[in-house]
Amino acid sequence: MTGTSMPPPGWRPIGGATLLAGVIGWPVAHSRSPLLHNFWLARHGIDGAYVPLPVRPGDFAAAARGLGAAGFRGANVTIPHKEAAFAIADDLHRSARRSGSVNTLVFGVDGRIAARSTDGDGFVASLQGKGVDVDRGPVLLLGAGGGARAIAASLLDRGIAVSIANRTRARAESLAEALGSEGGRIAVIDWERWADSLADHALLVNTTSLGMHGGPDGPFMPDLSAAAPDLVVSDIVYVPRRTPLLCAAAARGLTAVEGAGMLLHQARLSFHAWFGVDPVVDAEIEALLDADLAR
Integer CA distances (angstroms), 267 to 36, 82, 104, 261, 278, in order: 8, 16, 9, 10, 10
Q: In what order do the strands lie in the sheet with 162-165?
A: 186-188, 162-165, 139-142, 203-206, 232-235, 255-257
Task: Decide: 240 and 213 in contact? Cβ < 8 Å.
Answer: yes
How many Å separate Cα 168 from the centre of its chain? 23
Nearest to 285 by CA among 10, 47, 43, 8: 43
Local structure of residue 6 (DSSP, 8 states): P
Where in the chain do CATH 3.40.50.10860 domains reside?
19-117+262-293
Where in the chain do CATH 3.40.50.720 domains reside?
120-258
Residue 112 marked in a binding site: no
3-state secondary structure of 77: strand
Residue 38 marked in a binding site: no
User: Within 13 Å of residue 100, how many CA atoms lie on the same side as its CB?
Assistant: 12
pLDDT for res 198: 97
pLDDT for res 286: 95
Return d(Cα 109, Cα 41) in angstroms, integer: 21
CATH, domain range 19-117+262-293: 3.40.50.10860
CATH, domain range 120-258: 3.40.50.720
Residue 169 marked in a binding site: yes
pLDDT for res 1: 47
* pLDDT by position in tens, the chain (length 295): 455 566 666 667 888 899 999 999 999 999 999 999 999 999 999 999 999 999 999 999 999 999 999 999 999 999 899 889 999 999 999 889 888 889 999 999 999 999 999 999 999 999 999 999 999 889 999 999 888 999 999 999 999 999 999 999 999 999 999 898 666 689 999 999 999 999 999 999 999 989 888 767 778 899 999 999 999 999 999 988 899 999 999 999 999 999 999 999 999 999 999 999 999 999 999 999 999 988 8
The reply to whether 82 belongs to the active site is yes
Q: List 105's β-bridge partners, or say none.
A: 75, 115
pTM reported for the whole predicted model: 0.90
- Catalytic residue, chosen from 37, 73, 82, 268, is 82
Residue 209 marked in a binding site: no
Return d(Cα 195, Cα 187) in angstroms, integer: 15
